[in-house]
Structure 1
Amino acid sequence: MNKSSAAEHRAAALHTPTDLKAEATKDLTAALNLLLADYFALYLKTKNFHWHMSGPHFRDYHLLLDEQGDQLFATTDPLAERVRKIGGNTLRSIGQIGKLQRVLDNDADFVTPQDMLAELADDNRQLVTRLREAHDVCDEHGDIASASLIENWVDEAERRAWFLFEASR
């Protein structure tokens, strides 16, 4: 097998049939992979703050961030699988996540609990905006299944933002 046919064979091995047009698969894959990178970045940031929480409300905040981290991580598999179902390829590495993520990392040695909650609330509100943008791409291409998933994820992100806001008042 020559180099060209080997590459074609590998590509064909991952091809998933779909009724979506090639352009739709390309656009949807791009939008969903951006979301996936954001979810992984927000998951790790939430766990970072969970691990480094301190202060008089430690237990409540620690448990809140643990619950929110679990919810974020639980979204990653259905999101990646949706990309595959529509004929796309999804993220393969932390390096890829780093290139695509729009959630800013926080590598500070110390962050106050109030700043942690405020930053995560803001990140979740930004995620809501990005989810709505991805929903628009789904609507544009008639991908009702992805749109339906995103609608639930918008509600979850709004709830996380709300809880973080209320806990920080």
Structure 2
Amino acid sequence: MTQSLTSRRLAPLATPTDLEAHATKDIAAALTALLADVFTLYLKTKNFHWHMSGRHFRDYHLLLDEQGDQIIAMTDAVAERARKVGGTTLRSIGHIARLQRIPDNDADFVTPDDMLAELREDNKQLVSILRQVHQTTSEYDDFATTSLVEGWIDETERRVWFLFEASRTV
């Protein structure tokens, strides 16, 4: 029985795909790095949601809760695309930390205006990252991933827009 379990653990995760090996490698790597950024943005959004304060508390608290739900909803689809194209994806929090490009915020206190501004910039950075992933998936004619990325770009641009409008003073 032990030998059977060991041999199963050593079996490769070779998902069948018609993509060439270099395409699988590049697309899965792009999606895995994207996934690290999505998890980072999710946690930062929830951090700010939990620590919101001030006179617009309720509106901002609800906005960030809604945005957090939208961001976390991306994670499974991103990870599953990496697997569907024949690659692998994140395995741990440490893996996320090694790949993330969106910075953490561990400050004890952040003003509501700074929270909204930081999340707006982080979402803008995510749009840029998504465009890079789109370029990679388009290059290899991975139409399914490209289509998903286009939807995520639209959702992320919407978050940028809402964060911008919520932080306007006029």
Q: TM-score band (shorter)?
A: over 0.9
Instruction: Find the residue that maps to 1:132 and give its secondary structure.
Output: helix
Instruction: Find the residue that maps to 2:42 and give its secondary structure.
Output: helix
1:10 paired residue number? 10
- Percent identity, aligned pairs only, is 69
Offset at residue 7 of structure 1 (A): 7.2
Provide the rounded CA distance (Å) in 2 between the counterparts of 1:7 and 1:165. 53
2:78 paired residue number? 79
Give 1:1-169 correspondences, 5 Å limit: 10-12=10-12, 14-169=13-168
5+ residue gaps in structure 2? 1-5
Aligned residues: CA RMSD: 1.5
1:106-159 deviation line (CA, Å, top 9, x unaligned)? 000000000000000000011001100000000111101000000000000000
Runs of 4+ deviating beyond 3 Å: 6-9
Provide the rounded CA distance (Å) in 1 between the counterparts of 2:138 and 2:59. 39
Offset at residue 10 of structure 1 (A): 2.3
5+ residue gaps in structure 1? 1-5
**Aligned residues, how many?**
164
Offset at residue 15 of structure 1 (A): 1.0
